[in-house]
């Protein structure tokens, strides 16, 4: 697995751009992104399971009925969810972009992120599209990544190179997300590109499976967004043999895609609103992977666990409590718990009962920027990890006046 520069533009056939079009009041912030492929792409997607879905989610679902796309346009600053003229404005965005790029209107993926319930300034998008297209570049991934940010403090971008047979295949991605993150599908917004030759059916299978084990194991605040969406566009320009079956070539592609998605999942958790720490909960020796996943997600979603991690307090009882209401089967009297970081590892619970431990060492371990909560169920051979962040004063400050 070789890391590359270029983000979504690293794979063959892709360019991107990002501009300020006027949706956001701050003219220094880009608010409109475009990813474009020279050719039509096999495209897979996963969407939010929130019953309240934003207009761009519904429009993208319609457009991807046949699993083909050629462009992605996404704005920040306005979610176009529960908004006046929402579907009309999402379709209008697709139509204007398609006409300008001379592609089919159904070949456009549209996304939005930002405030819910306010009318989207689609006129600003229309005026910004010419500059957006003019700015398309192989160096444009960073601008696109910046344009989809809301409360994010860092751009989230990655590109890797893998081998399928003897052919080099590239996978690139950008993502956004910092709050309202508890996905039940894919992620907040994640756009992945690849030059792999793969059928839409195999691409969808790979994405769905990877999303379940990556994005779906992230929680910042327990809120599932109305706008969550993850898409993968495959241009097929790498020249590898077409992946039509779940063979060794499929497995090689899946490994690369899952690496990218896992990397972005961790970055999303690391950049949680107000966060000071990336939390990983790893559950091992569970009866089944589903049980391990359910427990890990319950722990990293617990407000009390998250608050304890913010205070570097080794309050392992909160971990055991969160396990107990996860509805996963396990025997409390078998459970071992430890905390670890770059500063070391400390055992705090064995066979469901507390241990005497060095509080000063525990404080030092939990004061690091990355902390792992280790849970050993001693009941099987399944394992799963989930990612989250600590709960800080700043989270409340950010969300107390997010709209105003």
What dihedral angle (degrees, nearest 10) is formed by the CA atoms of 112, 116, 117, 122?
-20
Q: How far is CA 264 from the centre of its chain?
A: 6
Estimate the crossing angle of helix 55-63 against helix 86-101, to 10 degrees. Answer: 50
State both tokens at 290: 């589903």
- 114's torsion region: left (phi>0), alpha (psi -120 to 50) or beta? left
The DSSP secondary-structure symbol of 154 reads: S
- Residue located via tokens 């295949």: 169
What dihedral angle (degrees, nearest 10) is formed by the CA atoms of 51, 57, 58, 64?
-130
Q: Among 373, 387, 385, which Cα is nearest to 335's?
A: 373
Torsions phi, psi for 324 (to 5 deg): -65, -30
Q: How far apart are CA 265 and CA 158, in angstroms?
A: 12
Per-residue b/e over 242-265, b at no fewer than 16 CB within 10 Å? ebeeeeebbebbbebbbbbbbbbb
The DSSP secondary-structure symbol of 36 reads: E
Q: Assign 85 to helix, strand or coil.
A: coil
187: annotated active-site residue: yes
Q: How far apart are CA 51 and CA 173, in angstroms?
A: 27
Q: How far apart are CA 122 and CA 117, in angstroms?
A: 14
The catalytic position among 93, 151, 187, 262 is: 187
Active site residue ranges: 187
């Amino acid at each position: 697995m070789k890391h590359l520069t270029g983000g979504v533009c690293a794979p063959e056939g892709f360019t991107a751009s990002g501009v300020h079009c006027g949706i956001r009041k701050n003219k220094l912030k880009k608010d409109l992104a475009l990813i474009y492929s020279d050719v039509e792409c096999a495209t897979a997607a996963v969407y939010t399971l929130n019953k309240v879905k934003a207009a761009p989610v519904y429009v993208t679902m319609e457009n991807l009925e046949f699993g083909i796309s050629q462009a992605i346009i996404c704005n920040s600053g306005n979610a176009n969810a529960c908004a006046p003229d929402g579907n009309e404005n999402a379709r209008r965005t697709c139509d204007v972009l398609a006409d300008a790029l001379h592609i089919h209107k159904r070949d456009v993926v549209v996304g939005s992120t930002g405030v819910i319930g306010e009318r989207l300034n689609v006129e600003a998008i229309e005026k910004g599209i010419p500059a957006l297209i003019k700015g398309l570049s192989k160096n444009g991934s960073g601008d696109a990544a910046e344009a989809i940010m809301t409360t994010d403090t860092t751009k989230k971008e990655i590109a890797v190179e893998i081998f399928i047979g003897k052919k080099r295949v590239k996978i690139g991605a950008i993502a956004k997300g910092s709050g309202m993150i508890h996905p039940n599908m894919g992620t907040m917004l994640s756009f992945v590109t690849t030059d792999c030759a793969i059928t839409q059916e195999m691409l969808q299978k790979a994405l769905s499976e990877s999303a379940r084990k990556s994005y779906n194991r992230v929680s910042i605040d327990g809120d599932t967004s109305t706008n969550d969406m993850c898409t993968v566009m495959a241009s097929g320009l790498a020249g590898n043999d077409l992946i039509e079956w779940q063979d060794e070539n499929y497995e090689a592609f899946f490994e690369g895609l899952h690496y990218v998605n896992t990397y972005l999942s961790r970055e999303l958790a690391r950049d949680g609103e107000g966060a000071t720490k990336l939390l990983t909960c790893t559950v091992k020796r569970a009866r089944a992977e589903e049980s391990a996943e359910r427990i890990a997600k319950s722990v990293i979603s617990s407000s009390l666990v998250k608050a304890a991690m913010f205070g570097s307090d080794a309050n392992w009882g909160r971990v055991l409590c969160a396990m107990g209401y996860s509805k996963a089967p396990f025997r409390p009297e078998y459970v071992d718990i430890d905390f670890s970081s770059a500063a070391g590892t400390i055992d705090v619970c064995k066979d469901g009962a507390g241990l005497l431990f060095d509080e000063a060492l525990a404080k030092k371990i939990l004061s690091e920027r990355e902390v792992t909560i280790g849970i050993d169920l001693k009941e099987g051979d399944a394992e799963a990890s989930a990612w989250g962040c600590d709960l800080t004063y700043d989270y409340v400050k950010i969300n107390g006046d997010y709209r105003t």
